[in-house]
Amino acid sequence: MILYINACVREASRTDKIARAVLEKLGGEYTEVYLPRENLKPLSEEKLNKRTGLIARGDYSDDMFNYAKQFAAADKIVIAAPFWDLSFPALLKLYIENIYAVGIVSEYEADGTPHGLCKASEIIYVTTAGGAYVPDYSFGYIKDLAENCFGIPKTTLIKAQMLDVVGFDAEEIVANTIENIKI
């Protein structure tokens, strides 16, 4: 199963347009989680205590684990997240906070090192930037989580940048990015 995590809030999102071209190249069916429509909330003390207690008992039957189970079961994951304020939309961070359930997406070795439990062979991270793209706090974060915590061995970055800079043709840049997708 291909999982599409869509963090694009704009109806005519350039990031979503490129991500859908990626999905088309991957072929087959996919499941979309459109984050702006999900009821994602940050972990409160109450929710964190509940989650901690359930995990300690090995009880993953609560609905709070549904996103984590879906993420862990995916064969490939495509994330669409525009580059905002040197990172990605807060909705994506909320999603990550809600999927990071020990015993589903990862477990810890005796020395405290995380060991991934996710089935996916790859995360394809799609982003667009109005100016120059800096991957440190967006793709870099996702790559580290995927490879070091979730057990997903490959992360691929597909980006279109300089889209809002005078003298650059945004439509042409997006079209060239789509044309040159290699997956």
Tokens for 51?
């989650």
Inform me whether the pLDDT recorded for 183 exceeds 90: no
Give me the chain's average pLDDT, please: 96
Over the stretch 18-30, which tens digit does the pLDDT of each residue have? Answer: 999 999 999 989 9
Over the stretch 59-79, which tens digit does the pLDDT of each residue have? Answer: 999 999 999 999 999 999 999
Residue 176's pLDDT is 98
Over the stretch 99-138, which tens digit does the pLDDT of each residue have? Answer: 999 999 999 999 999 999 999 999 999 999 999 999 899 9
Domain 2-179 architecture: 3-Layer(aba) Sandwich (3.40)
CA distance 111 to 108: 8
Dihedral angle computed from the Cα positions of residues 73, 102, 79 and 130, in that order, rounded to the nearest 10 degrees: 180
Over the stretch 135-153, which tens digit does the pLDDT of each residue have? Answer: 899 999 999 999 999 999 9
Length of the chain: 183
Burial class (CB in 10 A: 0-12, 13-18, 19+), 128: buried
Which helix (DSSP H) or strand (DSSP E) does residue 122 occupy? strand 122-128
Q: Which residues contact 6 (CB under 8 A, 6 or more apart)?
A: 16, 19, 32, 33, 34, 35, 80
For helices 14-26 and 170-179, angle between their N-to-C axes, nearest 10 degrees: 20
Mean pLDDT of 23-49: 95
Entry pTM: 0.95
| Domain range annotation of the chain | 2-179
Inform me whether the pLDDT recorded for 3 exceeds 90: yes
Mean pLDDT of 159-172: 97
Residue 69's pLDDT is 98
Go through 85-105 and write b for each residue having 16 or more CB atoms within 10 A of its CB, e for each that does not. Answer: eebbbebbbbbbebbbbbbbb
Cα–Cα distances (Å) from 151 to 4, 104, 118, 146, 155, in that order, read 18, 11, 6, 6, 11
pLDDT over 90, % of the chain: 95
